[in-house]
Amino acid sequence: MTRPGRPTIRDVARAAGVSKGLVSFALNGRPGVADETRERILTAARALGWEPSHRARALSASRAFAVGLVIARPPELLGADPFFPAFIAGVERTLSDRGQALVLQVVPESAEEAGYRKLAADGRVDGVFLLDLRVDDPRLALLEQLGLPAVTIARPMAPTRWPALLIDDRPGVAAAVAHLVELGHRRIAHVAGPDHFLHGRVRRLAWERALVDAGLPAGPCVASDFSAAGGAQATRELLDRAERPTAIVYANDLMAIAGLAVARELGVDVPGQLSVTGFDDAELAGYVSPTLTTVRTDPFEWGRAAARALLELIDGEPVADVPTPPARLVVRASTAPPPAPPAQRRRPPAPSRSEQT
């Protein structure tokens, strides 16, 4: 029984000119439907205002028709870091087209394992995304134990049977360092993310490797937490040194933008005395002053691709690792050649012999 006036699958099939079975396949994201036909069905469903009955679908298929994402970060950081909203928006875009839901939990790190256990025990999700991979990540074994299909965002260090979104931060960091070296910088520092996060360590090691490749000694490195406050504190520490770096490579844009504010507060001109690069290319990066040179990634598309892979995995299809386009450096106004050493700065001409007499 349906409520009077509520559109049904039969109505969608009639509007799209296809069978009810094909509508069911399209709305549930199942294979066997041509892209053009699927889009016609989805368009008809939206036009009619059709909405799935998740309870009925779940009961009939023994499925939750939902996927999970557990994030162990402070809630205030999620609001400030543009990565998470963009990634979640990409996930939601794909899920909404397939009649699926996202169950999001934001928890302290100490409660992360309990979050996954509760999702599995309550049958609330059919699979999960694994973000913020650790160097030695205990969640991989936990998900195997719980029987929850997963897609990892980046390839874990330990072997796993789950597909991964193949994200490689190293070329982007290497390009940032090479750009600074080409400008003439030799004292290039790094503000890193937490070293127990895989992407924090990967970006730090990429910075170190790029300096070695350029024939430069290791610059100073300050570990932070990806937050604006942490980036500001790390920048103060670097700029308080007797021998300041002439450039700082930050592990994300949020810390880099905070670093710009600290440099201005301390009277350090960017880029005249200090060059700054970020990572992510957040929307704000093109509007701060000076505009931020940074590494562009696409977390929205990552979210879409990860959601597609997870839904296919839940449907029992073989899913390979998912490649992503390489990150690229976007050069803006926060980088320039370093100031010339005092001995190389132009001196006023010596007085002539007649002037001396």
DSSP string, 287-327: TSSSPPBEEE--HHHHHHHHHHHHHHHHTT-----EE-PPP
251 within 8 A of 192, measured Cβ to Cβ: yes
pLDDT of amino acid 34: 86
CATH of 66-167+300-325 given 3.20.20.10, 3.40.50.2300, 3.10.20.30, 3.40.430.10: 3.40.50.2300
Tell me: domain 9-51, CATH 3.10.129.10, correct?
A: no
Q: What is the pLDDT of residue 344?
A: 52
> How is residue 301 written in tokens?
């598309």
Q: What is the pLDDT of residue 87?
A: 96
Q: What is the torsion angle, in degrees rounded to the nearest 10, for the CA atoms of residue 122, residue 124, residue 128 and residue 129? A: -120
- Cα→Cα distances 283→5, 50, 69, 71, 264, Å: 43, 34, 24, 22, 21
> What pLDDT was estimated at residue 236?
98
pLDDT of residue 284: 92
Please report the pLDDT score of residue 60 as a whole number.
44
pLDDT of residue 1: 34
The helix/strand/coil state of 214 is coil
Residue 63: what pLDDT?
Answer: 78
- Which residues, other chains included, contact 116 with Cβ-Cβ below 8 Å and sequence gap of 6+? 68, 70, 128, 139, 142, 143, 146, 148
Per-residue model confidence (pLDDT) at position 196:
94
Contact of 100 with 311, CB cutoff 8 Å: yes
Domain range summary for the chain, segments of one domain joined by +? 9-51, 66-167+300-325, 170-297+329-338
End-to-end CA distance of the chain: 111
- DSSP-derived secondary structure letter, 76: H
Non-local CB neighbours of 273 within 8 Å, separated by 6+ positions: 246, 339
The Cα-based distances of 322 to 157, 228, 247, 289 in angstroms read: 16, 31, 34, 36
Fold of the CATH domain 170-297+329-338: Rossmann fold (3.40.50)
User: Could you read off the pLDDT tens digit of each residue along the chain, which spans 357 residues?
Assistant: 344 457 887 888 899 898 877 887 777 666 678 888 888 888 888 888 876 655 444 444 457 889 999 999 888 777 788 899 999 999 999 998 888 999 999 999 899 999 999 999 988 999 999 999 999 999 999 999 999 999 999 999 988 999 999 999 999 999 999 999 999 999 999 999 999 999 999 999 999 999 999 999 989 999 999 999 999 999 999 999 999 999 999 999 999 999 999 999 999 999 999 999 999 999 999 999 999 999 999 999 999 999 999 999 998 899 999 999 989 999 999 999 999 876 555 555 555 544 443
Domains 9-51 and 170-297+329-338 share a fold: no
Strand locations in the chain (E): 66-71, 101-106, 128-130, 150-153, 164-166, 188-192, 221-223, 247-250, 275-277, 294-296, 322-323, 328-330
Token duo for residue 298: 């696409």
- Count of other CB atoms within 10 angstroms of residue 58: 15
